[in-house]
């Protein structure tokens, strides 16, 4: 039968999302529909509500409207990360105890293990392969807490890759990375979408790397944010908008 699939079963379907904090609504009636795996750069001024969107999607703050991920109503899923629906890289994640990098990365395999069962040599091999992909295999035996901010960021990305979720929420994954590693991370994200068929929402201020990404941009500083296909012209238009006094003036 040639029936169109229900919108509720698309990769990501956000309808009439309203979210913010007491006295301050930051996201007003956001609508977003991704029928298949895609990369979405979430951009906008500091404080426009990018991280707030992720807080809503990860259940950290209440929201109005509906969010479906791979056909599941997120409000009904108690622990979306535990089911592999989504994985989240917050802007800052601290680790308060010494731990070897590969031990932290292998934890990305948590869904494949019962409570307290130990990781297998195959899990560690996957962890090392993930570290290699982000260019950080040389850090495998180092203490994570002693790494630089940029090195730590690469390690988190390796751990995230092992989580093998359908939807990745990345909050400024190239923050603190030098130009070489920024480029490398965007190449990696492109592979996650085109080869592993993941959907990525990536908050970033790194407009320079976006024009060559296949996907969309969502500018939350726009009065009515919509998905626009990424191209050099679109990135340039969004840059000009963000640099304008008009765009700052329109922030509520």
Ligand X SMILES: Nc1ncnc2c1ncn2[C@@H]1O[C@H](COP(=O)(O)OP(=O)(O)OP(=O)(O)O)[C@@H](O)[C@H]1O
Short-list 104, 205, 122, 208, CA closest to 160:
104
**What is the Cα–Cα distance from 42 to 168, expressed in whole angstroms?**
12
Nearer to ligand X, 91 or 244 (CB): 91
Q: Which residue has the tokens 């203490």?
A: 143
Q: Is the dihedral of CA 117, 123, 128, 131 positive or negative?
A: negative
Q: Which of 19, 39, 50, 186 binds ligand X (CB under 6 A)?
A: 50
- Count of residues that bind ligand X according to CB under 6 A: 10
Q: Which of 3, 46, 76, 118 binds ligand X (CB under 6 A)?
A: 46
Starting at the earlier edge strand, list the strands of the sheet with 227-229.
86-89, 167-171, 199-203, 39-43, 216-219, 227-229
Q: Applying CB under 6 A, does 152 fall inside the site for ligand X?
A: no
Tell the smallest beta-carbon distance from residue 47 to ligand X (Å). Answer: 4
Q: Applying CB under 6 A, does 52 fall inside the site for ligand X?
A: yes
Span from 31-39, 40-48, 150-158, 244-252 in contact with ligand X (CB under 6 A): 40-48
Q: Applying CB under 6 A, does 133 fall inside the site for ligand X?
A: no
Nearer to ligand X, 46 or 195 (CB): 46
Nearer to ligand X, 45 or 113 (CB): 45
Q: Which of 6, 21, 99, 187 binds ligand X (CB under 6 A)?
A: 21
Tell the smallest beta-carbon distance from residue 130 to ligand X (Å). Answer: 26
**What is the Cα–Cα distance from 129 to 13, expressed in whole angstroms?**
32
Q: CA distances (Å), 199 to each of 17, 170, 245, in order? A: 19, 11, 33
By the criterion CB under 6 A, which residues form the site for ligand X?
21, 26, 44, 46-52
């Amino acid at each position: 039968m040639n029936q169109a699939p229900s919108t509720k079963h698309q990769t990501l379907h956000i309808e009439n999302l309203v979210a913010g904090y007491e006295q301050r609504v930051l996201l007003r009636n956001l609508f977003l529909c991704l029928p298949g795996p895609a990369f979405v750069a979430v951009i906008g001024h500091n404080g426009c509500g990018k991280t707030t969107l992720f807080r809503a999607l990860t259940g950290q703050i209440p929201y109005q409207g509906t969010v479906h991920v791979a056909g599941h109503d997120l409000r009904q899923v108690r622990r979306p990360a535990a089911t592999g629906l989504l994985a989240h890289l917050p802007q800052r994640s601290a680790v308060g105890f010494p731990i070897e990098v590969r031990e932290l990365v292998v934890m990305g395999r948590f869904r494949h293990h019962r409570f307290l069962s130990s990781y297998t040599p195959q899990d560690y091999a996957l962890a090392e392969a993930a570290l290699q992909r982000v260019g950080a295999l040389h850090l495998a035996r180092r203490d994570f807490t002693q790494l630089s901010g940029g090195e730590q960021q690469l390690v988190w990305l390796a751990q995230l890759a092992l989580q093998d979720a359908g939807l990745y929420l990345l909050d400024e994954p190239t923050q603190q990375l030098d130009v070489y590693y920024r480029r490398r991370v965007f190449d990696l994200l492109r592979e996650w979408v085109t080869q592993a068929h993941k959907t990525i929402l990536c908050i970033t201020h790194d407009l320079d790397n976006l024009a060559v990404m296949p996907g969309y941009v969502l500018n939350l500083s726009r009065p009515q944010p919509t998905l626009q296909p990424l191209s050099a012209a679109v990135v340039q238009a969004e840059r000009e908008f963000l640099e304008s006094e008009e765009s700052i003036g329109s922030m509520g």
